[in-house]
Amino acid sequence: MDSAAASIAPDWHVAQWFNAASPLTLEDLRGKVVVLHAFQMLCPGCVTISIPQAQRIARAFDPAHLAVIGIHTEFEHHDVMTPQVLAVFIREFQLGFPIAVDLPGLSGPIPPTMTAYAMQGTPTLILIDRRGRLRKHAFGTEDDMRVGADIAFLLAERELSNDTRL
């Protein structure tokens, strides 16, 4: 994980939300550790490995302190991977955490949130600390022990987040 001197995580650019009553911003989630899980619904590594892991994360930690946010960063098949298909996918796979749809790319295939985070592909796991700082960026899959530990390290920074010197 990156040190606490890391930069602030960029805002999201969202076309549509699922599993959220209203749009969610990083500002809204300040005070919580945020797990940002970027996926595509037809990416095999996402469907078989990282999405089940995101579900285990959501079950393992207290939602009062941790938010799991999915983001569908479609960079290959925007024409057919519509929000209507994603709605079916979310229901069939019983995903319960909020899921954002990244906006279409403006000047190319890469959608803007994916660009803002300099993601190399899917799946990508991003950890953002209680103050909104980007602390971990992992392209591909990581084992549960590493991910569970990294989340816990950020959760343990709770008291420090009230530190007035920062």
Say how far apart CA 58 and CA 55 lie, in whole Å: 5
Among 7, 25, 48, 120, binds its own copies (CB under 8 A): 48
Q: Which of 104, 105, 148, 161 binds its own copies (CB under 8 A)?
A: 148
Nearer to its own copies, 24 or 46 (CB): 46
Estimate to the nearest angstrom the gap between the alpha carbon of 122 and the chain centroid: 11
Please give the Cα distance from 86 to 14 (Å, whole number).
Answer: 14
Q: Which is nearer to its own copies, 31 or 45 (CB)?
A: 45
Q: Is 8 in the site for its own copies (CB under 8 A)?
A: no
String marking each residue 83-112 x if it binds its own copies according to CB under 8 A: -xx-xxx--xxx------------------
User: Tokens 């994603």 map to which residue?
Assistant: 86
In 3-state terms, what secondary structure has residue 161? helix
The residues facing 71 across adjacent strands are 38, 100
Using CB under 8 A as the binding rule, whether residue 4 contacts its own copies is answered as no
Please report whether residue 15 would count as binding its own copies according to CB under 8 A.
no
Q: Which helix (H) or strand (E) holds 89?
A: helix 83-92
Contact at 8 Å (CB) between 157 and 130?
Answer: yes
Count of residues touching its own copies (by CB under 8 A): 39
Residue with tokens 């992992």: 138
Task: Name the β-bridge partners of 16.
Answer: 101
Options 7-15, 18-26, 38-46, 97-105: segment touching its own copies (CB under 8 A): 38-46
What is the contact surface with its own copies in residues (CB under 8 A)?
Answer: 41-44, 47-48, 52, 56-57, 60-61, 76-77, 79-82, 84-85, 87-89, 92-94, 143-153, 155-157
